[in-house]
Amino acid sequence: MSELRPAWSQQFAHGALRSIPSVSSLDEITPEWAWGDSTGAGVKVAILDSGIDSGHPAVGRGIQGYLAISQGAEGFLYDTEPHGDAFGHGTACAGIIRAIAPACDLYSIRVLGARLTGRGAVFAEGLRWATENGMQVCNLSLGSTKKELAGLFHELADEAYFRNLMLVTAANNMPVVSYPSLYASVISVASHDEPDPYRFYYNPEPPVEFGARGIDVPVAWLNGGMLTATGNSFAAPHISGLVARILGKHPGLTLFQMKTVLRALAANVESGSF
């Protein structure tokens, strides 16, 4: 047989092909199977946002890593010193995730400022850093509507997919296209108005695939406070928390397997159907 192989075929050659553990059938996927007594321990969850208040009671066991990115005349600047929350938004997301996956490792990647605004290039660089530094889940309760950044975010979303970093993205609160929230290589989330944090729905007509609690949600905020908030921003971390718990019990799952698990457990999917 010829030693010359087409590009991308090396991993399917004899001696290189890996054995993959089987996954239970769809009919056997239950919440107990999916996350059971998992707490998300050991799962690295990055939150790209306005920072996180590590001392807030809702954040629990603190933050395991920090990165604040800014852009100067000479390029990007990376500050790994502990930081707070410039707005409150990141703390809200962190509190939701920790309520569901209390033992996950949280990493605060600050790319937004005091007015919850930022530069698209800084956002992209934060996503690149998360992809290249071993994060397993990345909560993106932010996005860009700039068409000139669509290609860059598409490339970054695909790279995250190939490295098995699960991007959980909030759809824009307005009926506009935002990046990377509507790509197929992310878990896209919008809001429903029910109070159960574990109840979520599957949308059979994407691009937005899942609906989670995001309307009138009590969330952590600045100075140890709480407030009631509404937005897709707060739906996404509910799914991020569940994804962290599932990975805590099934660390080998890929993104397409995770989407299959979430679909099977969605409240609007009839038992035993696919």
The structural domains of the chain, with segments of one domain joined by +, span 53-265
pLDDT at 28: 81
| Mean pLDDT, residues 229-243 taken together | 97
| Mean pLDDT, residues 59-74 taken together | 94
How far is 272 from 146, CA to CA, in rounded Å?
42
Q: First-to-last CA distance in the chain?
A: 41
How far is 111 from 128, CA to CA, in rounded Å?
12
| Mean pLDDT, residues 93-116 taken together | 97
| Mean pLDDT, residues 89-100 taken together | 98
Burial of 154 from C-beta contacts in 10 A (0-12 / 13-18 / 19+): middle
- Contacts of residue 254, defined as CB under 8 A and 6 or more positions apart, other chains included, come to 164
Q: Are 81 and 165 within 8 A, CB to CB?
A: no
- Give me the half-sphere count of Cα atoms (radius 13 Å) on the Cβ side of residue 50: 19
- pLDDT category at 10 given cuts 50, 70, 90 is confident
124: its two tokens: 């992209």
In this structure, which amino acid lies at residue 161? Answer: Y
Q: Are 92 and 219 within 8 A, CB to CB?
A: yes
- pLDDT category at 21 given cuts 50, 70, 90 is confident
How far is 198 from 216, CA to CA, in rounded Å?
15
Going by the DSSP 8-state scheme, the letter that residue 87 receives in this structure is S
Give yes or no for residue 3 having a pLDDT over 80.
Answer: no
- Per-residue pLDDT tens over the stretch 154-166: 999 999 999 999 9
Q: Are 193 and 235 within 8 A, CB to CB?
A: no
- Contacts of residue 238, defined as CB under 8 A and 6 or more positions apart, other chains included, come to 96, 100, 189, 197, 200, 212, 213, 214
| Mean pLDDT, residues 61-78 taken together | 95
How far is 81 from 64, CA to CA, in rounded Å?
11
- pLDDT category at 17 given cuts 50, 70, 90 is confident
97: its two tokens: 């995730």
pLDDT at 26: 74
Q: Are 93 and 234 within 8 A, CB to CB?
A: yes
Mean pLDDT for the chain?
Answer: 93
Share of the chain above pLDDT 70, in %: 95
The fourth-level CATH superfamily of domain 53-265 is Peptidase S8/S53 domain (3.40.50.200)
| Mean pLDDT, residues 19-31 taken together | 78
Find the radius of gyration of the CA atoms of the chain: 19
pLDDT at 14: 80
pLDDT at 274: 47
How far is 99 from 229, CA to CA, in rounded Å?
16
pLDDT at 82: 97
